[in-house]
Chains A and B, each alone.
Chain A
Amino acid sequence: MADTAIARRTRSFGRKTRGTYLRRSLVIIYLTMLVIWPVSLVAVETFSDGNSLTHALSDPAVTKAIWLTVQVTAWAVVINTVFGVIVSLLIVRYRFPGRRLYSTLLDLPLSVSPVVVGLALLLAYGPRDGFFGPALQDMGISIIFSTPGIVMATAFVSLPLVIRELVPILEEIGTDQELAARSLGAGPWQTFRRITLPSIKWALLYGVVLSLARSLGEFGAVKIVSGNISQRTQTATLVVEDKYLEFEQGTAYATAFLLTLIAVAALVVVTFLRPKEEQK
């Protein structure tokens, strides 16, 4: 009796009514129209005339831009990872005046347009009339229109991503494990490396991948601070725009395709790594 009742209930849960199909179709259509179809067109365009990809990869403007993007992304991700872990620990584990304001400010880079970020950095570090710019220029350090400026702009826009992944996890795990480790003789660094880090590693990895993807794709802020000098301060996204405007659509699509490929690959790798660990 009870068995059949349970069986019936399970069946009714699993039963596919017309509504189920309607809901699924809606979701699939939405995603297709908005994301899958347009992005796949980029891939189609890349391969449609056969040699766009090879053509793009033989263009030094493209290869140098991609190399610059990789370097800038690496720096931005490293900076945001280290800074993100420290800041997350700070806002979760310590109470200090202005903590909530600080926490709110951390979302600013996500809510402000990247163009504004670029302008702000230009104002602060510009070589001629920036606040620090002239002094740094005298010391022989140029920030705007060179790699450091691009790294700063990229790090700025992707700053909250690691932190927003870490904070909920840190709040969830609490401090008991860390205190237990301390009472067992572990110092602060040992506690972090052996207890805190393993507990947050998946959130951290996910945050890193998100900021990686964000950094690869940054356009507005970088366009302003870089000066967009071909083969010197032009990143991959800037090349895409340039080539598109210069009627080299094939190269533009191929570069765009490469950018997408890296970001998707990173997300896929993480998605496949994660469940394996959880099943253990």
Chain B
Amino acid sequence: MSIEIRDTAKNFGDFVALADINLSIPSGGLTALLGPSGGGKSTLLRIIAGLETPDSGTVEIDGVDATNVPAQRRGVGFVFQHYAAFKHMSVAKNVAFGLEIRKQPKDEIAQRVADMLKLVHLSQFADRLPSQLSGGQRQRMALARALAIEPKVLLLDEPFGALDAKVRKELRDWLRRLHDEVHVTTVFVTHDQEEALEVADNIVVINNGRVEQVGTPDDLYDNPANEFVLSFLGPITTLGGAAIRPHDIEVVSPTVPDVVTGEIVRITRIGFEVRVVVQPFDTAGRPVDDQVTVTLTRSEARELGLTAGQRIGLRPREGSLIPAR
């Protein structure tokens, strides 16, 4: 059930939310729309769902032009950041909603609801009200509700954005496993590059209403198309004038030939990671360039016995310099 978006544009007053988007989302995959807040990714998702109408352009779902099909007939499952739970209905009633609207027989609905609740591990909460669930449970209920109608595509708008860090991580893993089970074409919006890199098969980077790059997580991380994708996907530093990820810099002795030498300014430990800020020198020993940030694992740092003020050599690990475009 692929999605084709052609020349789609959307303005809100003077604000350009989307400018001529062309995008094709493959069938059966888990695709992330990644970008900063206000970049247009949620608008694009809502246009796919039919909750928003584009000013121009078309949306095709499964080869059928859906641009003028209203939301309720698109067969799209939608999950909101703030769950959008039907507060006055029990969990089971929430999940049954779409099926009852479709006037399916009662016993079929009951069976389907039981299956869905089992899938999202909420069977024992069927009779509770949404207000009696935790955030993570509510979001799983919202997912079950969206999946119950057997949607052609499942759309999630910042699905884990309102949850705390630990639950967010759990649900992320769980979403990945769920997707491997149900195989429905899934698109989710996120501003968290780690989430996109971890969960998605494909990432679409959107900024200022434009698609910056489309590709697999590896592709984007290693071959960013431009400065924006480079900096958005992960930390970045410069070594000898070239952009590089801080963990791709190797710390060696300053006497090794062809290395950038420098002095350690500061060492910060964040959990298992050690962040070393280095002031590089030229051959005459004068400070040059901006400070370089290097990240090492704790054991690497311990083996090297680094201390502030120490002179060290820096060199990029093999194949890690990001090609300048």
Q: Are the C-beta atoms of B97 and A181 separated by less than 8 Å?
A: yes
* Interface assignment of B73: CB less than 8 Å from any CB of chain A: yes
For residue A183, which residues in chain B have a CB less than 8 angstroms away from its CB? 49-51, 71-72, 74, 76-78, 146
Q: Are the C-beta atoms of B84 and A186 separated by less than 8 Å?
A: no
Q: Are the C-beta atoms of A199 and B71 separated by less than 8 Å?
A: no
* Interface assignment of B82: CB less than 8 Å from any CB of chain A: yes
* Interface assignment of A98: CB less than 8 Å from any CB of chain B: no
Which of A182, A190, A194, A195 is in CB contact (< 8 Å) with B51? A182
Q: Are the C-beta atoms of A182 and B86 separated by less than 8 Å?
A: no
| Chain B positions 91 through 133: 1 when the CB is less than 8 Å from some CB of chain A, otherwise 0 | 0000001100110000000000000000000000000000000
Main secondary structure of the interface of A (DSSP, over half): helix
* Interface assignment of B87: CB less than 8 Å from any CB of chain A: yes
For residue A198, which residues in chain B have a CB less than 8 angstroms away from its CB? 88
Cα A26 to Cα B214 in complex, Å, equals: 70
* Interface assignment of A246: CB less than 8 Å from any CB of chain B: no
- Which one of B49, B50, B76, B101 has the greatest number of beta carbons of chain A within 10 Å? B101
- Which one of A180, A181, A190, A198 has the greatest number of beta carbons of chain B within 10 Å? A180
Number of A-B contacts (CB under 8 A): 58
* Interface assignment of B281: CB less than 8 Å from any CB of chain A: no
Tell me, rounded to whole Å, the shortest Cβ–Cβ distance linking B301 to chain A.
Answer: 41
Cα A198 to Cα B146 in complex, Å, equals: 21
Q: Are the C-beta atoms of B84 and A184 separated by less than 8 Å?
A: no
| Chain B positions 183 through 213: 1 when the CB is less than 8 Å from some CB of chain A, otherwise 0 | 0000000000000000000000000000000
Q: Quick one: which of A12-45 are within 8 Å of B by CB?
A: none
Q: Are the C-beta atoms of B101 and A180 separated by less than 8 Å?
A: no
Tell me, rounded to whole Å, the shortest Cβ–Cβ distance linking B42 to chain A.
Answer: 12
Q: Are the C-beta atoms of A185 and B102 separated by less than 8 Å?
A: yes
Q: Which chain A residue shows the least CB distance to B80?
A: A176
Q: Are the C-beta atoms of B72 and A176 separated by less than 8 Å?
A: no
Q: Quick one: which of A88-124 are within 8 Å of B by CB?
A: none
For residue A186, which residues in chain B have a CB less than 8 angstroms away from its CB? 72, 97, 101
* Interface assignment of A187: CB less than 8 Å from any CB of chain B: yes
Tell me, rounded to whole Å, the shortest Cβ–Cβ distance linking A212 to chain B.
Answer: 24
Cα A199 to Cα B131 in complex, Å, equals: 14
Which of B72, B77, B87 is in CB contact (< 8 Å) with A187? B72
Can you report 25 A-B residue pairs in the complex whose CB atoms are below 8 A from each other? A177-B87, A179-B51, A179-B78, A180-B80, A180-B86, A180-B142, A182-B71, A182-B72, A183-B50, A183-B51, A183-B71, A183-B72, A183-B74, A183-B76, A183-B78, A183-B146, A184-B72, A184-B97, A184-B101, A184-B145, A185-B73, A185-B102, A186-B101, A194-B97, A199-B88
20 more A-B residue pairs beyond the given contacts A177-B87, A184-B101, with a C-beta to C-beta distance below 8 A:
A176-B80, A177-B84, A179-B78, A179-B80, A179-B84, A180-B145, A181-B97, A182-B70, A182-B72, A183-B49, A183-B71, A183-B76, A184-B98, A184-B149, A185-B72, A185-B73, A186-B72, A186-B97, A186-B101, A199-B88
